[in-house]
């Protein structure tokens, strides 16, 4: 049995993860951490990481980037693998994550959906073959409560494309002004509205033909399943930085 400490347990994703965990026979959420205490649960809930008095096998975080320091501190002190599903980290945050992964196992992904990571793997294969003849645009759509834009997933896909292309490309966000599209651009556009769970379109627009790769998350359960599978994957890992490619063994 894998004992999980769920950070952000009373948030939208935390509640979904708790519910989905019941279908994972080898997962047991033994404690939660959340500043909000207006939600009752089958496991004890602490307001801060330092208050936890229960030993777990993995810490799973689905909250906000501001919590990173307390998560790293706890995992370092207790030598507990850490699964980070939060987006919006700064360059400095990512540097700290990378450095800490030399001491403890850390899993970080901008999107916990298995499908979106398959899309990302496809982009690694095709982007360098298409960029000479196709303009590349990314459109992402999310609910009106999402705080970061563009989404971490859009940046994941954009960076994969950029790193796969043999010549320099630049990101263009939203595109404002009166000018023609520069051939060096990778356009990234964010839509916020209603209760959209998450949609990502990657468009390769060429002369007389378009190629579109689209992923739609129909419910938050897809992210919960991915995060719990990551907990299973990380229980016995040695120090290092891991991601969905490692878990799914994508090249």
Tell me: do 8 and 105 sit in the same domain. yes
- Catalytic residue among 141, 142, 200, 215, which? 142
Tell me: do 31 and 71 sit in the same domain. yes
Tell me: do 170 and 228 sit in the same domain. no
Number of compact structural domains in the chain:
2
Band the pLDDT of 250: cuts 50, 70, 90.
Answer: low
Q: Which helix (H) or strand (E) holds 199?
A: strand 198-206
Q: Residue ranges for the binding site for NAD(+)? A: 8-13, 85-87, 109-112
Tell me: do 40 and 73 sit in the same domain. yes
Instruction: Tell me the average pLDDT of the chain.
Output: 94
Tell me: do 34 and 152 sit in the same domain. no
- If you search the block for the tokens 């995992």, which residue do you land on? 75
Band the pLDDT of 179: cuts 50, 70, 90.
Answer: confident
CATH at residue 183:
3.30.360.10
pLDDT at 176: 85
Tell me: do 157 and 125 sit in the same domain. yes
Band the pLDDT of 164: cuts 50, 70, 90.
Answer: very high
pLDDT at 175: 87
Helix, strand or coil, per DSSP, at residue 182: coil
* Neighbour count for residue 242 (Cβ, 10 Å): 19
Whether residue 3 is predicted with pLDDT greater than 80 in this model: the reply is yes
Nearest Cα to Cα of residue 72 among 57, 84, 63: 84
Report the distance separating Cα 123 and Cα 66, nearest Å: 31
Tell me: do 225 and 104 sit in the same domain. yes
pTM of the entire predicted model: 0.82
* Neighbour count for residue 205 (Cβ, 10 Å): 15
CATH at residue 26:
3.40.50.720
For the chain, the first-to-last Cα distance in angstroms comes to 30
146 catalytic per annotation? yes
Give the residue-averaged pLDDT of 174-195. Answer: 93
Helix-strand-coil percent breakdown of the chain, rounded to 5? 35, 25, 40
Q: Residue ranges for the binding site for (S)-2,3,4,5-tetrahydrodipicolinate? A: 143, 152-153
Handedness of CA 75, 67, 216, 25 (dihedral sign): positive
Report the distance separating Cα 109 and Cα 50, nearest Å: 25
Whether residue 177 is predicted with pLDDT greater than 90 in this model: the reply is no
C-alpha of 7 from chain center: 15
Report the distance separating Cα 34 and Cα 213, nearest Å: 37
Residues with Cβ < 8 Å from 122, sequence gap 6 or more? 213
Q: Cis ω on the peptide bond leading into residue 150 (within 30° of 0)?
A: yes
Tell me: do 122 and 108 sit in the same domain. no
Tell me: do 55 and 176 sit in the same domain. no
Tell me: do 108 and 118 sit in the same domain. no
Tell me: do 176 and 126 sit in the same domain. yes
Tell me the backbone φ, ψ of residue 245, rounded to 5 degrees: -60, -40
| Domain range for 16 | 2-112+220-248
Secondary structure (H, E, C), 133-194? CEEEEEEEEECCCCCCCCCHHHHHHHHHHHHHCCCCCEEEECCCCCCCCCCCEEEEEEEECC
Tell me: do 84 and 185 sit in the same domain. no
Helix, strand or coil, per DSSP, at residue 248: helix
- Catalytic residue among 146, 162, 235, 237, which? 146
């Amino acid at each position: 049995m894998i004992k999980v400490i769920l950070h952000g347990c009373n948030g939208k994703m935390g509640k979904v993860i708790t519910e989905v965990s019941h279908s994972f026979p080898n997962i047991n959420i033994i404690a939660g951490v959340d500043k909000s205490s207006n939600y009752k649960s089958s496991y004890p809930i602490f307001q801060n990481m330092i208050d936890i008095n229960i030993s777990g096998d993995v810490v799973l975080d689905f909250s906000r980037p501001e919590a990173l320091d307390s998560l790293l501190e706890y995992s370092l002190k207790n030598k507990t693998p850490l699964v980070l599903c939060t987006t919006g980290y700064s360059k400095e945050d990512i540097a700290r994550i990378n450095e800490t992964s030399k001491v403890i196992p850390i899993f970080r992904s901008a999107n916990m959906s298995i499908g979106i990571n398959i899309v990302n793997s496809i982009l690694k294969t095709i982007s360098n073959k298409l960029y000479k003849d196709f303009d590349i645009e990314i459109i992402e759509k999310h609910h009106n409560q999402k705080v970061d834009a563009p989404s971490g997933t859009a940046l994941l896909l954009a960076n994969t494309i950029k790193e796969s292309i043999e010549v320099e490309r630049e990101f263009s966000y939203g595109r404002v002004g009166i000018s023609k599209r520069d051939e060096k651009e990778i356009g990234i556009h964010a839509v916020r509205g209603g209760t959209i769970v998450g949609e990502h379109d990657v468009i390769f627009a060429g002369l007389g033909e378009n190629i579109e790769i689209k992923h739609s998350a129909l419910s938050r359960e897809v992210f919960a399943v991915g995060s719990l599978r990551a907990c299973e994957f990380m229980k016995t890992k040695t120090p290092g930085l891991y991601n969905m490619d490692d878990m799914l063994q994508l090249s």
